[in-house]
Amino acid sequence: MVAFVSTVAFEGIEAKPVDVQVQISSGMPAFLVVGLPDKAVNEAKERVRAALVASGLSLPPKRIIINLAPADLPKEGSHYDLPIALGLMAAIGALPSDGIAGYTVLGELSLDGSISSVAGVLPAAIAANARGHGLICPKADGPEAAWASADLDILAPVSLIQLANHLKGTQTLSRPRPGLREPTSDLPDLREVKGQESAKRALEIAAAGGHNLIMVGPPGSGKSMLAARLPSILPPLEPQELLELAMIRSVAGDLAGGALSDRRPFRAPHHSASMAALVGGGIRPRPGEIALSHHGVLFLDELPEFQPNVLDALRQPMETGNVVVARANHRITYPARFQLIAAMNPCKCGKAGEPGHVCARGVRCAQDYQARLSGPLLDRIDLHLDVPAVTAADLLLPAPSEGSREVAARVAAARALQQVRYQAMGATGRTNSAVSATLIEAAAAPDSAGMRLLRDAAEAMKLSARGYHRVLKVARTIADLDGEERVGRIHLAEALSYRTLVDRVPLAA
């Protein structure tokens, strides 16, 4: 007899439906799994056998064939244990076979018959909901699955026995509740940064428009400190954004306890990061750091210390907002609309440009160090900021009266303006940095004085076409922070003042 159970296979953050077909027939006794299983799926045999024995069942000495259909789609991961076990239980009559029809099942089995958590439950739950199925998942992942839909039927059992009892009607499982992480107020506050008023202003602009920002300054000037305080002034995630991010994190196995947080992600990978770690990929493809910082911040400290090819791999995702990982055997798209915040020293010793500092290696030191960054990458960074060293006099000042809360309120107001404007224009982007060039030309058309300044500056600074639009976007954000309808001369002037590094690099080369 043949039993059928539905489950999923993951392709990027997409869950493709997979049918587990279990056939038990007489013939040479054997237990075979076919349908392109990888090692973890093939080993499911031993876990399933042990879990069934622990649950008081045993496999009949017959020919057992498990087919994972469609047979040409590679199956990876340990979440096939539970569907295989349920299929076997239905085939030997230990479960009513109509009990599991209409459910999408995933979960890993322990040898004692308990069900342990797996990655990717949220995308699976959303796929199940789209197919009109219910979901059977491990107990630990229930809160995560409950996010998919309020009326999705979810069973989150602890063990095979509990699930069997529920399906037979002798015990009832309650629906898990969606988990939300308690909002924590342990974020570092902008108030702790003394001095650096221009840097704080740039950080506020970056937060308000979702712009990329690079900070250049000597060691100890507070670059990393400023970057760490960016999450505290960013607005919380919108529900749609939260779900998109949660899908990526779920596939990466990064959602502990299924509790979602509306805090924007802040990822700070070390500069030894490889291309696959940052962009995504690997033999079993996993989302990289840029996908995990979707709708949030990717902070790259010591930017020139990253491998140049790794940095240049960021160029395309920074423009398109997603990354396509194409390999011989798979092709996966991860969303990656992240905000890049970078920090670097001006030279190897870190003190170039300081008043009174004379480097033994001369000007070349700073030039060589900064030339490690490619022009195209810098061209994609809207805000270039010099962060000078903090003087002792700054540290003696009383703490600034303005903290993260006040700045966050202004940022939220500016973002609200943008959202209303771009929704009215029918755009998909929500922030100035995310909209297309034609839209920003319409939204940020400067007044006549501003137009004149922009024309002169574009010629003097040799702005690229992209650079031109980036200046417009930053100017639009500054105007939004001021609550201005129109982009004026002062907004453009400030925006242009943040594009210093692009000019510096051609000089250095």
Partner 1 sequence: MTATRHLPDPARRAAYGLGLRSETIAALFLRMKGYHVVARRHQTPVGEIDLIVRRGRTVAFVEVKARPTLDMAAESIRLYQQSRIVRAAEAFLSRNPRLNGYDLRFDAVLIAPGRLPRHLPAAFDAGR
- Residue closer to partner 1, measured from CB, 63 or 166: 63
Compute the half-sphere exposure of residue 171: CA atoms within 13 Å on the CB side of its CA.
13
Report, in Å, the least distance between residue 92 CB and partner 1: 13
286 pairs with which residues across the strands? 281
Report, in Å, the least distance between residue 49 CB and partner 1: 10
Binding mask 367-396 for partner 1 (x = CB under 8 A): ------------------------------
Contact 244, 208 (CB under 8 A): no
For partner 1, the binding residue among 3, 12, 21, 28 (CB under 8 A) is: 28
Report, in Å, the least distance between residue 158 CB and partner 1: 29
- Residue closer to partner 1, measured from CB, 30 or 283: 30
- Residue closer to partner 1, measured from CB, 32 or 409: 32
Report, in Å, the least distance between residue 25 CB and partner 1: 10
- Residue closer to partner 1, measured from CB, 30 or 442: 30
197 backbone dihedrals φ, ψ, rounded to 5°: -65, -40
Contact 148, 129 (CB under 8 A): yes
**Helix H or strand E segment including 155:** strand 154-155
Contact 253, 381 (CB under 8 A): no
For partner 1, the binding residue among 1, 16, 30, 364 (CB under 8 A) is: 30
Report, in Å, the least distance between residue 28 CB and partner 1: 4
Span near partner 1 by CB under 8 A; candidates 54-62, 226-234, 468-476, 500-508: 54-62
Cα 273 to chain centroid, rounded: 16
27 counts as binding partner 1 under rule CB under 8 A = yes
- Residue closer to partner 1, measured from CB, 26 or 448: 26
- Residue closer to partner 1, measured from CB, 65 or 371: 65
Span near partner 1 by CB under 8 A; candidates 11-19, 55-63, 368-376, 395-403: 55-63
Q: State whether residue 79 is helix, strand or coil.
A: coil
29 counts as binding partner 1 under rule CB under 8 A = yes
Report, in Å, the least distance between residue 64 CB and partner 1: 9
Report, in Å, the least distance between residue 48 CB and partner 1: 13
C-alpha span between 152 and 166 (Å, rounded): 17
For partner 1, the binding residue among 32, 71, 111, 416 (CB under 8 A) is: 32
487 pairs with which residues across the strands? 446
Report, in Å, the least distance between residue 86 CB and partner 1: 20
Strand ranges for 233-386 from DSSP E: 259-260, 266-267, 280-281, 286-287, 297-300, 322-326, 331-335, 339-344, 383-386
Cα 485 to chain centroid, rounded: 33
C-alpha span between 130 and 114 (Å, rounded): 28
Span near partner 1 by CB under 8 A; candidates 26-34, 149-157, 341-349, 484-492: 26-34
With CB under 8 A, what is the number of residues at the site for partner 1? Answer: 11
Span near partner 1 by CB under 8 A; candidates 27-35, 135-143, 221-229, 286-294: 27-35
467 residue type, one letter: G
- Tokens 């995310």 locate to 434
- Residue closer to partner 1, measured from CB, 33 or 340: 33
- Residue closer to partner 1, measured from CB, 26 or 401: 26
Span near partner 1 by CB under 8 A; candidates 14-22, 25-33, 189-197, 417-425: 25-33
Contact 444, 475 (CB under 8 A): yes
- Residue closer to partner 1, measured from CB, 28 or 150: 28
Instruction: Work out the end-to-end distance of the chain between its first and last CA atoms, rounded to an integer number of angstroms.
Output: 73
- Residue closer to partner 1, measured from CB, 50 or 158: 50
Q: SS3 for 258-297, per residue?
A: HEECCCCCEECCCCCCCHHHHHEECCCCEECHHHHCCCCE
User: Which among 239, 275, 279 is positioned nearest to 260, based on CA atoms?
Assistant: 239
Crossing angle (nearest 10°) for helices 501-508 and 363-370: 110
- Residue closer to partner 1, measured from CB, 28 or 424: 28
10 Å CB burial of residue 123 (0-12, 13-18, 19+) is: buried
- Residue closer to partner 1, measured from CB, 45 or 473: 45
Span near partner 1 by CB under 8 A; candidates 58-66, 78-86, 134-142, 155-163: 58-66
Contact 52, 59 (CB under 8 A): yes
10 Å CB burial of residue 116 (0-12, 13-18, 19+) is: middle
Per CB under 8 A, contacts with partner 1 among 62-121 are 62
39 counts as binding partner 1 under rule CB under 8 A = no
For partner 1, the binding residue among 14, 19, 21, 31 (CB under 8 A) is: 31
C-alpha span between 54 and 341 (Å, rounded): 52
List of residues contacting partner 1 (CB under 8 A): 26-32, 45, 60-62
